[in-house]
Amino acid sequence: MLTVSGLTIAFGATVAVRDVALTAAPGTVTGILGANGAGKTTTLLGILHRVPRRTGTVVLDGRDVTGHDTGALVRAGIALCPQNRRLFPNMSIADNLLLGAYGHGRAVRRERLARTYERFGWMRERADEPAGRLSGGQQQAVAIARALMSEPRLLLLDEPSSGLSPVAVQEIAGLLAEITADGTALLLVEQNVGLVRRLCSTAHILAHGRVTGAGPVSELLTDDTVSDAYLGTLT
């Protein structure tokens, strides 16, 4: 349902992402792995047209949405759960969640907040607390719940396990599995190979802005390719 082809993104003379192609399908998790600076975040932001694109197309459900603005992409069904979560720590949990339904009328926002609380009962109980008071894992859950407030069909996640304890990582993994089972397509940027093995059917390895490997996780993530991706020796 998502097909990205020929995506090249440059910041001035620096080409951060070069000729990247990938797909994501409903009810599956597609992984993007790679070392620091490989171009993972830039790829996600390129899909959302938030970085300078030189070439490439983004097609969602057969519709070319290349270069559409953020509002149009959200309406088309794409949401981002950004790197480092980007919650507003001094704002309440409820207000952070409501930002995910920005642009909708009051009634819709309330209804979606109520639905979020059905899934995450503890967020209702702590709705008025500042988000910054939560643990890392809870903040990540709020960041994911905020992204779900736009009711996406495609959810882009940028290193959701980063900085979390092993127990919190397992909880986030469980949540992502649930969201996938609901039929949402997930595009998951991760450096946690265990999480990729657990969740992803297929994955792409990015190195120096290029896809250097792609395919079923079981075939792709042999020990050599993983260490190469992290040592950055793939070119």
Ligand X SMILES: Nc1ncnc2c1ncn2[C@@H]1O[C@H](COP(=O)(O)OP(=O)(O)OP(=O)(O)O)[C@@H](O)[C@H]1O
Give the footprint of Mg ion on this chain (CB under 5 A): 40-41, 83
User: Between residues 83 and 92, which has the closer beta carbon with respect to Mg ion?
Assistant: 83
Cα-based distances in Å from 42 to 8, 38, 45, 53, 228? 10, 9, 5, 10, 21
User: Between residues 83 and 201, which has the closer beta carbon with respect to ligand X?
Assistant: 83
Choose the binding region for ligand X from 10-18, 61-69, 73-81, 217-225 (rule: CB under 6 A).
10-18
Residue 14 binds to ligand X (criterion: CB under 6 A): yes
Confirm if 100 and 149 have CB atoms less than 8 A apart: yes
The length of the chain is 235
User: Between residues 113 and 189, which has the closer beta carbon with respect to ligand X?
Assistant: 189
String of contacts with ligand X for each residue 32-51, x by CB under 6 A: --x-xxxxxxx---------
Residue 180 binds to ligand X (criterion: CB under 6 A): no
* Dist. CA 205–CA 215, nearest whole Å: 9
Could you report how far apart the first and last alpha carbons of the chain are, in Å?
29
Kindly state the DSSP code that residue 91 receives in the 8-state scheme: S
Instruction: Decide which of Mg ion, ligand X, none touches 16; Cβ closer than 5 to 8 Å per partner kind.
Output: ligand X
Angle at 24 between CA 20 and CA 26, to 5 degrees: 170
Number of residues that bind ligand X (CB under 6 A): 12
User: Between residues 83 and 201, which has the closer beta carbon with respect to Mg ion?
Assistant: 83
